[in-house]
Amino acid sequence: MPKRTNTRNKIKEVSLDLFSTLGFSGSSVRHISGKIGIRESGIYNHFSSKKDILKVLLEDVKNSTVGVEIITDELLEKISNPPIFMKEFVKILVEHWNSDQQKKYLRLVLIEQFRDIKGIKVSLKILIDESINIWDLIFAQMLKFKFIKKNDSRVLAEEFVYPVFMIRLQYLTTDNVDIEKVLKKCNSHINYFWNSIKR
């Protein structure tokens, strides 16, 4: 990997660490450059401003959400047994959310979501919309195959995803996560939800 790319990635990495602990306003270009061991001007070779770094990090947040790519053929084979499918899918989601990088992204969004940073609006929507879109498609398929009662797939997706996301907020923000406890909470939600929508 070229040195320029390495430096850019290091700037992003250090900025994410700082923004997710001190916030955007609590971090400076001087602080970032000092942590990396380069001059401040070295930051400006890669980013036009601290705000530009934040924009790039927020794009990374959007691009790092679990998307359709996790719906493998193996997972799709389980859709004929929806509760098993739902549990397997949520397990993949929880494991993804439990990574250090995802925890930093979450903290960054939580810290900055109520601020207007020179025109940049930060919202939890960037963390949750992709999941809702995927579950909308999944519930549409379950409706098509008559696994579940007639309903609006988008509403079902929202009703399903929001509690799972709240579990993320409650349990997946610390370093020492009891994954089994988190999955047990998620599975309890899935069982309850499935019993309310199944035919």
Q: Which residue has the higher pLDDT, 63 or 82?
A: 82
Question: Model confidence over 24-66: pLDDT tens digits?
Answer: 999 999 999 999 999 999 999 999 999 999 999 999 998 887 7
1-17 mean pLDDT: 85
Instruction: Output the pLDDT for position 175.
Output: 82
Q: Do the beta carbons of residue 126 and residue 120 sit within 8 Å? A: no
Instruction: Output the pLDDT for position 24.
Output: 95
pLDDT category at 105 given cuts 50, 70, 90 is: very high
111-135 mean pLDDT: 89
Q: How far are the Cα atoms of 29, 103, 124 from residue 66, in angstroms, in the given order?
A: 31, 14, 15
| C-alpha–C-alpha distance, residues 190 and 192, integer Å | 5
94-114 mean pLDDT: 93
Instruction: Output the pLDDT for position 2.
Output: 57
Sign of CA dihedral 80, 83, 87, 90: positive
Instruction: Output the pLDDT for position 43.
Output: 96
Question: Model confidence over 147-198: pLDDT tens digits?
Answer: 999 999 999 999 999 999 999 999 998 888 999 999 999 999 999 999 999 9
Sign of CA dihedral 169, 173, 174, 177: positive
Instruction: Output the pLDDT for position 46.
Output: 95
DSSP 8-state code for residue 120: E
Amino acid at 124: L
Lowest mean pLDDT among 74-78, 110-114, 154-158: 74-78
* Residue 4 reports pLDDT greater than 80: no
**What is the b/e burial string over 138-150, where b = at least 16 CB atoms within 10 angstroms of the residue's CB?**
bbeebbeeebbee
